[in-house]
């Protein structure tokens, strides 16, 4: 599959080049199957066929059969060794090491040859064996590199068997006693932040607060799926209180896992609807969100949020209210509540409109920007990267985008300390002129056209019109002064009205059961 992706012509060219090097010749022999496909012009994906081919009509994957000399449907091989495999990689490697059947021997020899060749390329290709693991894990999407797999299979027994079957290993291998990696050692270039903590102040269900660099606070979001919970909001306020009232210079907020946060807890919303407790359970949660995020935005000391992966819904609103953001380039950011029949209720609309309304732009320019925001939120758009998030307005020009995701927390700590040293000035709450009825009428006209053209459903229309109402500041005359907290209250009112509708309940239920939005 990798050869098909890269191209067999590239693979053949590399092999033939290495065959010209005497010490490489034993490892790069001609392979009849590769030569056959290459001569037939079956070079992989670039020619629509290589080792594999996708049948257009049957919509199935075909594989080249050496005996048939043609493509046949790809089927799962019936090999006894496969029935002994589990999800435990260490167990599977042990099975392969001890296998005596033909398939097991093939798997062992494949791994053995990889181990042996990787070992011989230190120091020829690199002085550090970890670079080989990094190249294959980071560059070729391996789960583990050859030396990591060697350790997992058992360093000593693999070393002994390789030398018995292939001959003496390089001298640098002989100097290793207990394996390539220590117990907590990884291929990461950056030391995990967990190893740099000075003191853990608390470790609770949904958060962890620690001291790092002697005088900085580090708040970690650690709820299930990193959702924004009431408990985390309370912890956030408590952490900000400590930051402001004790001799700490700054704070960084971050999360582990593949995603920063996927948003709010939809199960809680579904349960509140089913038990008729929306006003009792959801309304106070919205007040908590607004209170904690306002504390975050107007903090007296600098706070930086380090984000990566999916930053959706409530997670996006948390980031939006942060004075500063350090974002991985692979950040997928969006206010996606419309997809489940809701609108942002954690101050997301208020913050985005605040950024537009407090500018010195002409009113027509503000209306154009607000219309674009309405489309972005109404269609639940998610950025495909951090740079697109900047174009959508989720990230500001002053926010930092980095390419090495592993360094996001360290860079966020550096940014936070820089702002503290530069005598950080907290944000001040502003008043500005609402767009009012003029913008609301304009938005309603555009939504009417989309509804009549059957581009959106009736419920889509209702959601989008409510979003427009919030962004406009409500049914106000143009040039009425408002503040961000007023827009937050509009968010709350319209969110609570939407969540009480049956169609929104259906959207939430469908999303929880199927993992994709319902267009009802």
Q: Are residues 147 and 118 in contact, defined by beta-carbon separation less than 8 angstroms?
A: yes
Is pLDDT at 188 greater than 80 in this prediction? no
Structural domain harbouring 482: 193-514
Listed residues 134, 152, 187: the one ending a domain? 187
Could you give the angle at the alpha carbon of 491 between the alpha carbons of 490 and 497, nearest 5°?
Answer: 90
In terms of domains, do 35 and 178 share one?
no
pLDDT score for 189: 66
Considering the domain architecture, whether residues 67 and 97 belong to the same structural domain is answered as: no
Do residues 102 and 44 share a domain? Answer: no
- Percentage of the chain beyond pLDDT 70 is 99
The answer to whether residue 82 sits within a structural domain is no
Q: Decide if 520 is inside a domain.
A: no
When pLDDT is cut at 50, 70 and 90, the band that residue 58 belongs to is low
- Are 103 and 171 members of one domain? yes
- Cβ contact 161:109 at 8 Å: no
- Same domain as 198, residue 174: no
Specify whether 38 is located in the same domain as 156.
no
Element (H, E) at 243: helix 230-245
CATH number, position 483? 3.90.226.10
Q: What's the token pair of residue 133?
A: 């693991």
DSSP code per residue over 129-144: HHHHHHIIIIIH--SS
Strands 481-483 vs 216-221: parallel, antiparallel or unpaired:
unpaired
Domain count, the chain: 3
Q: Which helix (H) or strand (E) holds 253?
A: strand 250-255
- Any domain includes 519: no
Residues 181 and 201 in one domain: no
pLDDT of residue 177: 85
- Give the residue from 75, 99, 121 where a domain finishes: 75
Q: Is 1's pLDDT higher than 80?
A: no
* 275 and 387 part of one domain: yes
On whether residue 251 sits in a domain, the answer given is: yes
Same domain, 67 and 148: no
pLDDT at 144: 93
| Element of type H or E holding 332 | strand 324-334
Task: Give the predicted TM-score (pTM) of the model.
Answer: 0.74
Supply the pLDDT for residue 191.
Answer: 77
Q: How confident is the model at residue 393 (pLDDT cuts 50, 70, 90)?
A: very high
Mean pLDDT of 227-241: 96
Give yes or no for residue 184 having a pLDDT over 70: no
Model pLDDT, residue 32: 87
Whole-angstrom Cα distance, residue 251 to residue 241? 11
Mean pLDDT of 442-458: 94
CATH number at residue 57: 1.10.1040.10
Please state, for a pLDDT cut of 90, what percent of the chain lies above it. 78
Q: Please determine, for residue 498, whether its predicted confidence score (pLDDT) is greater than 90.
A: yes
Residue 192 has pLDDT above 90, yes or no: no
Q: Give 343-392 as a DSSP string.
A: ---SSHHHHHHHHHHTS---HHHHHHHHHHHHHHHHTT---SSHHHHHHH
Q: With bands split at pLDDT 50, 70 and 90, how would you rate the model's confidence at 4?
A: confident
Residue 299 lies in a domain: yes
Whether residue 81 lies inside any domain: the answer is no
Q: Which residues of 294-323 are buried (b: 16+ CB within 10 A; e: fewer)?
A: bbbbebebbbbbbbbbbbbbbbbbbbbbbb
pLDDT (tens digit, 9 = 90+) per residue, 282-334? 999 999 999 999 999 999 999 999 999 999 999 999 999 999 999 999 999 99
Tell me: do 279 and 407 sit in the same domain.
yes
Q: Give the end of a domain, one of 33, 48, 75.
A: 75
Strands (E), 195-323: 197-203, 207-212, 216-221, 250-255, 303-312
Residues 216 and 364 placed together within one structural domain of the fold: yes
Same domain, 437 and 325: yes
């Amino acid at each position: 599959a990798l050869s098909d992706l890269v191209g067999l012509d590239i693979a053949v060219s590399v092999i033939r080049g290495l065959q010209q090097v005497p010490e490489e010749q034993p490892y790069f022999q001609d392979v009849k199957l590769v030569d056959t496909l290459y001569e037939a012009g079956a070079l992989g994906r670039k020619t629509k066929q290589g080792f594999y081919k996708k049948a257009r009509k049957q919509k199935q994957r075909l594989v080249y059969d050496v005996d048939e000399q043609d493509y046949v449907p790809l089927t799962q091989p019936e090999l006894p060794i496969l029935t002994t495999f589990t999800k435990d990689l260490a167990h599977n490697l042990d099975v392969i090491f001890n296998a005596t059947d033909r398939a097991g021997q093939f798997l062992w020899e494949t791994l053995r040859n990889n181990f042996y060749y990787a070992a011989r390329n230190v120091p020829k290709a690199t002085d550090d064996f970890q670079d080989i693991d990094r190249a294959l894990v980071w560059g070729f999407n391996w789960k583990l590199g050859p030396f990591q797999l060697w350790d997992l299979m058992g360093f000593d027994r693999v070393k002994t068997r390789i030398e018995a079957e292939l001959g003496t290993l390089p001298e640098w291998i002989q100097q290793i006693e207990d394996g390539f990696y220590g117990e907590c050692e990884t291929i990461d270039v950056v030391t995990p932040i967990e190893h740099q903590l000075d003191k853990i102040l608390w470790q609770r269900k949904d958060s962890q607060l620690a001291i790092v660099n002697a005088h900085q606070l580090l708040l970690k979001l650690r709820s299930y799926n990193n959702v924004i919970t009431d408990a985390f909001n309370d912890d956030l306020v408590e952490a900000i209180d400590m930051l402001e009232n004790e001799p700490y210079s700054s704070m960084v907020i971050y999360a582990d896992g593949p995603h920063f946060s996927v948003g709010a807890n939809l199960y809680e919303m579904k349960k509140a609807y089913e038990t008729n407790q929306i006003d009792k359970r959801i309304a106070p949660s919205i007040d908590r969100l607004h209170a904690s995020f306002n504390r975050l935005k107007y903090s007296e000391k600098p706070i930086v949020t380090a984000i990566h992966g999916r930053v959706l819904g409530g997670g996006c609103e948390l980031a939006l209210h942060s004075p500063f953001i350090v974002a991985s380039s692979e950040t997928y950011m969006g206010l996606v509540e419309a997809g489940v029949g809701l609108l942002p209720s954690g101050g997301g609309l208020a913050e985005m409109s605040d950024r537009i309304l407090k500018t010195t732009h002409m009113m027509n320019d503000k209306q154009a920007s607000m219309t674009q925001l309405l489309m972005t939120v109404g269609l639940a758009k998610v950025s495909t990267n951090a740079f697109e998030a900047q174009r959508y307005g989720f990230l500001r020009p002053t926010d930092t985008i980095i390419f090495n995701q592993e360094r996001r927390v360290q860079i966020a700590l550096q940014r936070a300390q820089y702002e503290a040293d530069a005598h950080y000035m907290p944000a001040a709450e502003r008043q500005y002129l609402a767009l009012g009825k003029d913008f609301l009428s304009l938005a309603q006209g555009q939504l009417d056209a989309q509804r009549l053209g059957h581009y959106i459903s009736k419920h889509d229309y209702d959601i989008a019109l409510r979003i427009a109402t919030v962004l406009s500041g409500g049914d106000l005359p143009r040039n009425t002064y408002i503040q961000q907290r007023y827009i937050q209250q509009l968010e709350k009112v319209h969110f609570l009205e939407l969540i009480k509708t049956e169609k929104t309940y259906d959207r939430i239920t469908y999303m929880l059961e199927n993992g994709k939005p319902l267009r009802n």
